[in-house]
Structure 1
Amino acid sequence: MLFALKTLGYIFWRAMQSLGLLFATSGSKNRLIRFMKNYEPDFGYENFANQVIALAKNIIFSEPGEDLSIIRGPWDGESFQNITDIVYRGAMSVGNCWQEGPYVYADIDLYFCDTYDRGSSMKEKNDRIRMIVGKNIQIPQDPGYSIHQVSCESCGASFDAMKIRHCPYCKREYDMRDHAWTVMKIRKTGGKPS
C-alpha cells in the first residue's frame, strides 16, 4: 500500500512539473502552420518538429569546436559536454517567425529531460534548449534529400555533410539552409518554460 501511494505521489509530482509546458506551448503549432502555409502549402508540423529535434540532438552530442554544417552561427559546445542522454519531453514552443530575403526563420524552445555525468554520479535535469532555425523558401524542397549524401555545387563531389561544413575536395562551404532547416543559434536556457 505504501509503495502504491509513493508511486502515485511521484506520478502526480512529475505531472505537475510538466503543467507549465502546457501553457508555454499553447498555440505554437497553429502559429507556425499559419506562418509557413504562406510559403509551403504542404508544410507539416510533425515533420518540422522531428527535424529540429534531430538537429538539436546532433549538435548536443557533437564535440565542442566541430565545424558542423547543421549550424550556421557559433555555439557553446561546453554547455552540452556532460550530457550523456536526452529525452524529448514532447513539448516545443514557437516564438517569433519571420522572413528575411529568401529565408524564413523561427525562434523555438525545445524541452528535454537531460542526464548529466557528474563524475561519480548521474543526475537528471529538465532543460530548455532555445534555437533559431532557418530555411531557404525559394528553392523547392527535394523529398529525397539526405544530409548524409550531398553534392558539392562547385565540383560535384558527393560527401556526408552531417559533420563537415566544407567540401573535402574543393573546400567550398556547404549551406544547408538551401535544402533543409538549419540551426542559426542554439543555447541552453534552463528548464522552466518562459
Structure 2
Amino acid sequence: MDIDGFWVLIEESGRAAKTKKKRLAWLDAHLRERTAEEIVDFQMWLDVVQTQAATWELWGAYFAVFGMGSDDGFEYFRRWLQGLGRETFERVVADPDSLIEVPELLRLLARKGCRWTNEEWPEFEQLSYVAWDPYKAMTGLEIEHLFSQVGARGVATNSSELRGEQWTIDSWDDMRHRFPRIARYWEGRSDKGGSK
C-alpha cells in the first residue's frame, strides 16, 4: 500500500460511515481483507502523516482556535485532521492559518454557547489503533511486532516531538500577526475558543 492507497482508505471510510465508531468498524473490516504487509503499510502511513502535522506552527493554530490545548489533545486533533482527508490535511499542514476555513470546524465554532458532543469534538484518538486488531488477527502476533515492523522501515510510531521553531502565543497581537485569519474570525466574538 502506497500513500495514495492509504488516503483512499481514509477517505472512503468517511464517505461510507458518518460516525467515528462506524468509520473504525469500516476500516477494521477493510484492513482484515488486506495482507499483513499492507496492514503494516497502513500503520506506517498513519504514523508518517501524523508526524507531518507535528509542527509548532500547527500547534499554535490549534491553540489559537481552541484557546487551550494539551499534548494528547493535539495528537488526537491531528488524527481528526487525517480523518478529514488528504486535501484538507495537506492544506492545513502547509498553511495552519487555514484551519479556521475548514467547514467541519466552522460548523462547530458557529454554535456559540453550545457544548460539543464527544462525537463532534475535533479529536479522533481511536484512529491511532485501528490497525492493531486486524494485524493481530492476521498474524497471531502481539502489537509490539507491528511497531517493530514499522520501525524497521525507519518510521517512529507515536512521535510527539514537534518540528520547526518553538514559540508560544504571548499576546493577542502575537496571534494576530501569526494567524491573521484565525484572529479575524475571533475578533468581535465574546468567546475565544471551543467548548467541550
Q: Greater helix percent: which structure? A: 2
Task: Between the two structures, name the one with larger relative contact order (CA 8 Å, sep ≥ 6).
Answer: 2
State if a TM-score over 0.5 links the two structures: no
Relative to the length of structure 1, the TM-score reads: 0.24
In terms of Rg, which structure is larger?
A: 1
TM-score, with length taken from structure 2: 0.24
